[in-house]
C-alpha cells in the first residue's frame, strides 16, 4: 500500500507540473499574439509617419524652390531712388536743406548728418556732396561739439564758399581759430559777439565775402572803430546799435544796408557814404546833431526803404532824403509828423514824394493814425497801400 501511495503521489505531482507547464505555454502564446498585434500597430504608425515625413520633405523642397525664386527676384530688383545718378541724388539732398546761405543744424533730424546714417550708398553720396556742408551754424551746440563738427564740415565742404553763423555765447570766440584758415572762402557771415575785441577775427582779406551781419552784445560802445577792408564783393551789411560805430566798412560799395537802433547823426554819416544803396532798413534813435548835418542825403539808386519805429524827434530825417528811384516804402507814421505840417502825415508824405520825384508801387504804414481809405484817396497812383501793426521782414 505504501508503494502504491507513493506512486500515486508521484503521478499527481507530475500531473500538476504538467498542468502548470500547459498554462505557461498558453500565456506565452497569448503574449506572442499580443506582441505581434502591437508590432503590426507600431509598423503601421511608422509607415504613416514615413508618409508624413515624405510629404513634409516634399513641402520643404517646394518652399526652398519658392524662396530661391523670390530671392532671385529681390536680388534683381532696384529701388527707383537707388537707380538715380549720384549727382541727381546729391541735388535732392540739397533740397532737403534750407536754401543757401541759410544754415541747417549741425546735429538732429534737420541736419545733413542724418543722411550719412541711412545706407552705405547715401552715406557716400552725402560725404562727397560739398554743397551739403557749406553753411555752418554754431548757435545751438557746445563749444567742444562745435569745434569738432566744424572741422568735419569744413573738410567736407571742399573748396566751396562758406556761410558761417555764430552764437552769442561768451565762449564762441574760442571756435573761430578753426575758421580763420578758410577766410578766403567766407561768403556770408552772421556773427554775434559780446566782446568788441572779437571783431579782430574779421581783420584780413576776405575776397568772397558778400554778406556781413554783426550783433555786438555790449554794455557800452567802443571809441575806436575797427577798419575793415579787402572785402571787394561785400554788398550787404546788417549792424546793430553798437556794431555801427565799432566798424569802418567799405560803405560806398554796399547795395543793401540794415542799421538797427542807430543814432541819427551816425545814420546820416553812413548814408552819405552809401551812394549805391538799393535796399535800406533803419531803426533810428534820436540824438541831437550839428546844424551842418541838415543837408539833403541823396540816395539816387534806392528802391526799397524801411524805417522802423523811432522817436518823434527823428521825423525831420525823412525831410533830408532824396530818393528818385524809390518804389517800395515802409515806415512808421511817426516819421511823417513834421512840426511845420501840424502833424499831418498826408501832407508830409506828399512833400517827401514830390521832393524825391519817385513813383511808389508799394506803401506800407505802421501805427497809422488815419485810415487806409484816406491814404488811398490821397495817393491814387500807388497800386498797393497797406496799414501794418508791425514792420514786415525785408530780405537783407
Show pLDDT as tens, one digit a residue, over the chain (396 residues): 655 555 555 667 767 777 777 788 888 788 888 888 888 888 888 888 898 998 888 999 999 998 988 888 777 766 676 778 888 888 888 998 999 999 988 888 889 999 998 888 899 999 999 999 999 988 777 777 788 888 999 999 999 999 998 876 656 677 888 899 999 999 999 988 777 777 888 888 999 999 999 888 765 556 677 788 889 999 999 998 777 777 889 999 999 999 988 888 888 889 999 999 999 999 887 666 555 456 889 999 999 999 987 766 677 788 889 999 999 999 988 888 765 555 788 988 999 999 999 999 999 999 888 899 999 999 999 999 999 876 665 554
Instruction: Say if 372 falls within a structural domain.
Output: yes
Is the same domain home to 297 and 379? Answer: yes
Q: 344 near 375, Cβ under 8 Å?
A: no
Of 221, 249, 277, which residue constitutes the final position of a domain? 249
Q: 165 near 136, Cβ under 8 Å?
A: yes
Q: Can you tell me the distance from the alpha carbon of 174 to that of 176, in angstroms, rounded to the nearest whole number?
A: 6
Please list the residues that pair with 306 across neighbouring strands.
Answer: 281, 330
pTM of the model: 0.74
Q: 360 near 326, Cβ under 8 Å?
A: yes
Is the same domain home to 208 and 196? Answer: yes
In the chain, the N- to C-terminal Cα span, in Å, equals 150
Is the same domain home to 196 and 99? Answer: yes
Residue 224: which domain range?
A: 87-249
Is the same domain home to 130 and 180? Answer: yes
Instruction: Say if 11 falls within a structural domain.
Output: no
Instruction: Say if 142 falls within a structural domain.
Output: yes
Q: 237 near 249, Cβ under 8 Å?
A: yes
- DSSP run (H or E) holding 19: helix 2-76
Instruction: Say if 229 falls within a structural domain.
Output: yes
The domain that holds 312 is classified in CATH as 3.80.10
Q: Can you tell me the distance from the alpha carbon of 327 to that of 50, in angstroms, rounded to the nearest whole number?
A: 95
Is the same domain home to 135 and 269? Answer: no
Instruction: Say if 236 falls within a structural domain.
Output: yes
Instruction: Say if 79 falls within a structural domain.
Output: no
- DSSP run (H or E) holding 331: strand 328-332
Of 249, 268, 298, which residue constitutes the final position of a domain? 249
* Domain count for the chain: 2
Q: 115 near 132, Cβ under 8 Å?
A: yes
Amino acid at each position: 500500500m505504501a508503494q502504491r501511495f507513493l506512486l500515486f503521489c508521484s503521478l499527481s505531482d507530475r500531473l500538476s507540473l504538467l498542468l502548470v507547464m500547459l498554462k505557461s505555454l498558453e500565456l506565452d502564446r497569448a503574449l506572442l499574439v499580443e506582441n505581434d498585434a502591437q508590432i503590426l500597430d507600431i509598423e503601421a504608425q511608422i509607415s504613416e509617419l514615413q508618409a508624413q515625413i515624405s510629404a513634409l520633405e516634399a513641402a520643404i523642397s517646394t518652399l526652398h524652390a519658392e524662396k530661391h525664386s523670390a530671392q532671385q527676384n529681390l536680388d534683381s530688383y532696384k529701388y527707383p531712388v537707388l537707380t538715380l545718378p549720384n549727382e541727381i541724388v546729391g541735388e535732392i539732398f540739397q533740397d532737403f536743406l534750407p536754401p543757401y546761405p541759410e544754415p541747417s543744424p549741425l546735429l538732429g533730424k534737420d541736419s545733413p548728418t542724418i543722411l550719412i546714417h541711412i545706407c552705405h550708398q547715401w552715406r557716400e553720396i552725402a560725404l562727397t556732396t560739398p554743397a551739403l556742408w557749406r553753411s555752418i551754424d554754431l548757435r545751438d551746440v557746445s563749444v567742444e561739439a562745435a569745434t569738432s563738427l566744424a572741422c568735419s564740415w569744413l573738410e567736407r565742404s571742399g573748396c566751396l564758399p562758406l556761410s558761417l553763423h555764430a552764437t552769442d555765447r561768451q565762449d564762441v570766440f574760442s571756435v573761430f581759430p578753426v575758421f580763420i584758415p578758410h577766410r578766403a572762402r567766407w561768403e556770408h557771415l552772421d556773427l554775434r559777439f559780446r566782446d568788441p575785441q572779437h571783431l579782430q577775427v574779421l581783420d584780413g582779406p576776405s575776397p568772397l565775402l558778400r554778406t556781413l551781419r554783426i550783433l555786438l552784445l555790449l554794455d557800452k560802445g567802443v571809441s575806436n572803430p575797427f577798419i575793415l577792408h579787402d572785402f571787394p564783393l561785400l554788398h550787404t551789411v546788417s549792424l546793430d546799435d553798437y556794431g555801427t560805430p565799432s566798424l569802418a566798412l567799405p560803405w560806398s560799395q554796399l547795395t543793401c544796408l540794415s542799421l538797427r537802433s542807430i543814432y541819427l547823426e551816425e545814420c546820416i554819416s553812413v548814408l552819405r557814404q552809401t551812394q549805391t544803396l538799393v535796399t535800406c532798413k533803419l531803426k533810428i534813435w534820436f540824438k541831437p546833431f550839428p546844424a551842418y548835418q541838415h543837408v539833403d542825403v541823396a540816395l539816387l539808386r534806392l528802391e526799397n526803404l524801411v524805417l522802423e519805429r523811432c522817436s518823434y524827434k527823428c521825423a525831420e530825417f525823412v525831410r533830408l532824403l532824396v530818393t528818385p528811384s524809390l518804389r517800395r516804402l515802409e515806415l512808421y507814421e511817426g516819421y511823417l509828423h513834421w512840426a511845420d505840417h501840424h502833424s499831418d502825415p498826408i501832407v508830409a508824405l506828399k512833400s517827401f514824394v514830390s521832393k524825391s520825384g519817385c513813383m511808389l508801387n508799394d506803401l506800407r504804414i505802421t501805427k497809422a493814425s488815419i485810415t487806409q481809405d484816406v491814404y488811398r484817396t490821397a495817393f491814387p497812383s500807388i497800386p498797393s497801400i497797406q496799414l501794418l501793426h508791425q514792420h514786415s521782414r525785408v530780405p537783407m
